[in-house]
Structure 1
Amino acid sequence: MPLPSFLRLLLLAALWGGSFLLMRVAAPVLGALPTTFARVLLGALGLGLLLLVLRLRPQFGGKLGATLVLGVVNSGIPFLMFAMAARSLPAGYSAILNATTPLMGVLIGALAFGERITAARVGGVVLGMAGVAVLAQAGPVALTPEVLGGMAACLVATACYGLAGFLTKRWVTERGGLDSRIVALGSQMGAVLVLVPVVAWELLRQPAAATAWLAAPAPVWGALLGLGLLCTALAYVLYFRLIADVGPLKALTVTFLIPLFGVAWGWLLLGEPATWAHLAGGGLIGAALWLVLRPVPAAPVALQGAR
């Protein structure tokens, strides 16, 4: 992976790792679904403002429909699934299941998009998941129907992430490409559109939620702005640029780094302890990244006339 792309990968992981801290501030006050909707709405507005400042016209070149669908697959559905899972799953389990994204990408790529599946990539995915498990230090939970449903929701979300990377490559990159900022804007517009009726129905069922929005203190609004403008708008610009530069599988390895940055932000900003388990998990994740990101050997070419 070229150095600029690797630095983008690190910055993306830092942003998405920080999103857990910001959601910890906003979600208990506003609820998971309104927080998710505010995140994608502010992300879309932030991206629109960015294009306006840069005087970059949002010309989709006939790919507007594709980017809207990408937003549903890559943001709308996964955000809803993780919000549902949070009702029954401990955060550690969600982090572990989120790390199955590259595995989903490897499987979907091999089954539907002709990607080569190698022992090194599979081994890297397994090592990465083990590293996240060590970091999360998740304990056993009873496999109740609610817990199983939460696990299934997480796996639906990671399958969406894995699928969206390849759809972006096929629908956008291989059809002439688009500026990553325009792809990010279209994707967040799609997420907003799919979440509008869900949020409207939730507010009709629970009108008190609207009052919580109006009465939210300044730190909550600050957290929402950070989630929307930094962890969504800027993050998706970086993500779609990574897909265009290094491909979907390598871009998906960001999910291995997110827990590391989540721990680092917690240690720096919240005074949470850093333990030997964090160091061990970080070592496993580093080894996983090396296995997944290293170049794939070229397939052997049969010699003409060989018998």
Structure 2
Amino acid sequence: MRNPRIMLLTLFTMLVSGLNFPIGKMALEFGSPFLLLSIRFIAAGLLMLPFILKRPHPRKAAEWAKIAVTGLLQSALVMAGVYLSMKTIPSGSSSILSSTNPIWFIIFSFLLYRVRYRIVQWAGVLIGFFGVAVAQGFHVQLESGFWYAIGAGMAWGLATLLISRWGKAYDTWVMAAYQMLIGGVFLLATSPFVEQPHFLWDPDHLGKELFVFGWMILMSSIAQFISWYYVLMNSDPGKANVYLFLIPLFGLSSGWIILGEPLHAYVLAGALCTGIGIYLVNKPGPVSSGRAAASEGLSDPGKRKCPAG
């Protein structure tokens, strides 16, 4: 990346993605996960609507169905897993576990579409999972938060795979806005069945709550999506996605600075291994596939990938 603007926007997106974890954990102090996320995504989607009304929209039911599927995965399941995980594990650990999405991307690509990857990329998968084990102190924590975060990484990887295959048929901004709206409506509808919905305005901490909600809607949803899509449309997606390994590092450091979460040596080592694994998975190079249709969309693992929100 030789363009200073692209580099700045890339680093901005990674920083915002890392900060989303401790700020999201702060939000859990005054609301239930599904209700908080539904407010975030519906508000962000509605704010984007005036800017996309004149852009090309899907016309067929099948096209809307694809947006709905990716919205449920990307906006609903990924973020629900992240927020639920932070109820029982530190935000830094959640950032490491959920950021394994590029690893799940190539696993799902191989299983569903028989895409063939190079040895170095499979090595990245193994190193990435080794990093997850190291970050947990070589003890797989059976706490629900561990599995929620891993599930978020899996849903994120699958969403990325589907977007890489379907996304070219859509206007990027239209797809992003409706993904958030659909995901938000789904979270709002399911909230009464999976949690005790609650939201508390605390007059003593009103400034903190307004900041958290402003961040979630304006920064985590709108600014982050716009910046990242601009990077992907104006640079090499393969090279841009290499920077995703910064998300768990920013997540760990911001959790330490903002929330005072401990930085254990094994957690840092695990984050480093996971980052190396993600780098190897995204390492540019030829990919062969038995299906010509997969060659373009999957040659850069994680093409049109969205950072963790």
Asked if TM exceeds 0.5, the reply is yes
Q: 1:99 to 1:246 in 2, by over 3 A?
A: same
Structure 2 stretches of 5 or more lacking a match?
290-309
Asked whether the equivalents of residues 131 and 283 of structure 1 are also in contact (C-alpha less than 8 Å), the reply is yes
Deviation at 1:84, TM superposition (A): 3.4
Matching of residues 1-307 of structure 1 within 5 Å: 8-48=9-49, 51=51, 57-62=54-59, 63-91=63-91, 93-130=93-130, 138=137, 140=139, 143=142, 147=143, 149-173=144-168, 175=169, 177-178=170-171, 180-199=172-191, 209-210=198-199, 212-213=200-201, 217-240=206-229, 255-266=244-255, 284=273, 287-288=276-277, 290-297=279-286
Deviation at 1:246, TM superposition (A): 5.0
TM-score scaled by length of structure 1: 0.73
Deviation at 1:121, TM superposition (A): 1.2
Question: Highest Rg: 1 or 2?
Answer: 1
SS in 1 for 2:115: coil
Structure 2 Cα separation of the partners of residues 277 and 238 of structure 1: 33
SS in 2 for 1:28: coil
Structure 1 Cα separation of the partners of residues 9 and 130 of structure 2: 24
Once the two structures are superposed, residues 130-158 of structure 1 have per-residue CA deviations (whole angstroms, 9 ceiling, x without a partner) of 55666x56574664xxx2x5444333322
Structure 2 Cα separation of the partners of residues 120 and 235 of structure 1: 30
SS in 2 for 1:30: coil
Q: Is the deviation greater in 235-244 or in 277-286? A: 277-286
Identity %: 24
Q: 1:100 to 1:8 in 2, by over 3 A?
A: same
Q: Give the partner amino acid of 2:67.
A: T
Asked whether the equivalents of residues 45 and 177 of structure 2 are also in contact (C-alpha less than 8 Å), the reply is yes
Asked whether the equivalents of residues 95 and 252 of structure 2 are also in contact (C-alpha less than 8 Å), the reply is no
Once the two structures are superposed, residues 154-207 of structure 1 have per-residue CA deviations (whole angstroms, 9 ceiling, x without a partner) of 33322221111121122221x3x42x322211110111121121235578x55x
Asked whether the equivalents of residues 102 and 253 of structure 1 are also in contact (C-alpha less than 8 Å), the reply is no
Once the two structures are superposed, residues 99-123 of structure 1 have per-residue CA deviations (whole angstroms, 9 ceiling, x without a partner) of 3311110111122234332221122
Asked whether the equivalents of residues 76 and 195 of structure 1 are also in contact (C-alpha less than 8 Å), the reply is yes
TM-score scaled by length of structure 2: 0.72
Once the two structures are superposed, residues 210-236 of structure 1 have per-residue CA deviations (whole angstroms, 9 ceiling, x without a partner) of 4x1475622112111101111122223
Structure 2 Cα separation of the partners of residues 286 and 199 of structure 1: 34
Deviation at 1:272, TM superposition (A): 7.0
RMSD value, Cα: 3.8
SS in 1 for 2:30: helix
Q: Is the deviation greater in 36-45 or in 6-15? A: 6-15
Q: Give the partner amino acid of 1:33.
A: F
Q: 1:5 to 1:190 in 2, by over 3 A?
A: farther
Once the two structures are superposed, residues 234-261 of structure 1 have per-residue CA deviations (whole angstroms, 9 ceiling, x without a partner) of 22334455666656x8776565321211
The count of aligned residue pairs is 283
Deviation at 1:60, TM superposition (A): 1.8
Q: 1:252 to 1:71 in 2, by over 3 A?
A: farther
